[in-house]
Structure 1
Amino acid sequence: MMKILILGAVGQIARMLTNELLHKTDHSIVLFARNGRKRLNIVDDRRVLIVDGDFKDKDKLVHAMEDVDLVYINDMGNENSTKTIIDAMKDAGVKRVIAASVLGIYDEVPGAFGEWNKRMIGETPRMRSQVESARMLENSDLNYTLLRLTWLYNQAGNTKYMITQKDEPFKGAQVTRQAVTQCVMDIIGEQSDKYHRVSLGISEPDTDWAKPSFY
């Protein structure tokens, strides 16, 4: 049994992950979010602790990481927040982290979809923050799994996902949040070091298109 900290716990994938952990594991969960107590409704308070806090508050993060085995970061769109999280993990003595990023941080998306993706997000400040956040995580001594997510949508029951490695061209124009949640659950459940210190592209099989179906 583990103790898992979910940072950015009000996000859609974070909420799905919380639900899956509660229903399919015996792990205890710490949910960290701004105004989390107001925004989150938790039925099993024996296994769940809610911490109100900001990613930039290192002391609050360190407190939330007490006795934690694994941290899940739901968003790395602010490099200052990412640095604070990494520093807090060092201070708290926590090594294992799964972090959600986006496709394109290595310019690894080829073809028409790669060009479309660059037009949509390639030069945005948020994308630059994602690039810098990933660089900081990979240069740390943390035991990280970085997830480069393609374009997200919701479809109940669709948990199909495929993985591309860092040195491979990214494939797949879309993936469900349900599938990303399943991927995180699979990584949490993996007892080997298969997913340690790796950057994985996450997409839906058979969606190697010029853009997502919902655009």
Structure 2
Amino acid sequence: MTQVLVLGANGQIAKLAEERFFADSDVSVRLFLRNASRLGDLGNKAEVIEGDVTDEAALAKAVHGSDVVYANLSGSNIEAQAKLVVNALHTEHVTRLIWISTLGIYDEVPGKFGKWNNQTLGSYITNYAAAAKVLEESDLDYTIIRPAWLTNKDEIDYETTQKGETFKGTEVSRKSVADFVYQLVKDPTKEIGHSVGLNKPNTDGDKPAWY
């Protein structure tokens, strides 16, 4: 039985991943979010904990006993959140962390799309790059996920690139990102210490198709 903790459990990708966890009898789920009422009644599918990652004591308590922590966090203070998450995992002797980031944090997005992405996201990229650096400088068994621009398409269709490689494509479905997270939870030895780009194949262009 794998005990997974989801931080930011009401996020769109997080909720899709949670559906996969709930359907798997070998995964035990703990959900951590600021407003627990937003999840509705989950019955006995998961343990729900209301709290904020900036509350160090509450975060450490949620992390306690976890095998995998999956962080689906956001905000202009994402670097500070990363530091708090790393500290909580150290405190509770948990090593496996899956972290959702964004494309462009290594200036790895090529051409006109890369220029458009940098201009559109601006400081968002800078903040997420700083958060990723916190993980990369830790001794945790982390995986950073860098999705392309997200769609709500009902599909699982993606390919990956690694840090140091040129990013591919312009889009990927949230369902695809959730699938990748689920695969990492099922085999926590995959992609340890890696920062992985995720995109739908054959979606190259100057910007996402809907812009």
Give TM class, smaller chain. Answer: over 0.9
* Percentage of matched positions with identical amino acids: 38
Contact kept, 8 Å, 2:9 with 2:31, in 1: the verdict is: yes
1:195 maps to which residue? 191
Q: Deviations over 1:40-86 (max 9, x none)?
A: 124342x4111111111111011001210000011254111111111
**Selected match of 2:143 from 135, 142, 145:** 145
Structure 1's unaligned 5+ residue stretches are: none
Contact kept, 8 Å, 2:118 with 2:125, in 1: the verdict is: no
**Selected match of 2:168 from 168, 171, 192:** 171
2:65 maps to which residue? 67
SS in 2 for 1:29: strand
TM-score, normalisation: structure 1: 0.93
Contact kept, 8 Å, 1:101 with 1:149, in 2: the verdict is: yes
1:9 maps to which residue? 9
SS in 2 for 1:160: coil
C-alpha distance in structure 2 between counterparts of 1:25 and 1:104, whole Å: 36
Q: Which amino acid aligns with 2:186?
A: G
- After TM superposition, give the deviation of residue 187 of structure 1 in Å: 1.6
SS in 1 for 2:133: helix
- After TM superposition, give the deviation of residue 183 of structure 1 in Å: 1.0
Structure 2's unaligned 5+ residue stretches are: none
Q: Which amino acid aligns with 2:39?
A: L
Q: Deviations over 1:114-155 (max 9, x none)?
A: 11101101x32x322101100000000000010011100101
Contact kept, 8 Å, 1:76 with 1:129, in 2: the verdict is: no
TM-score, normalisation: structure 2: 0.95
Q: Deviations over 1:185-205 (max 9, x none)?
A: 1122226x3311100001111
Pairwise CA RMSD of aligned residues? Answer: 1.3
1:119 maps to which residue? 119
Residues 42/69 of structure 1: CA separation in 2 closer, same or farther (3 Å cut)? farther
1:41 is aligned to 2:40:
yes
C-alpha distance in structure 2 between counterparts of 1:14 and 1:194, whole Å: 19
- After TM superposition, give the deviation of residue 25 of structure 1 in Å: 4.0
C-alpha distance in structure 1 between counterparts of 2:42 and 2:164, whole Å: 42
1:161 maps to which residue? 158
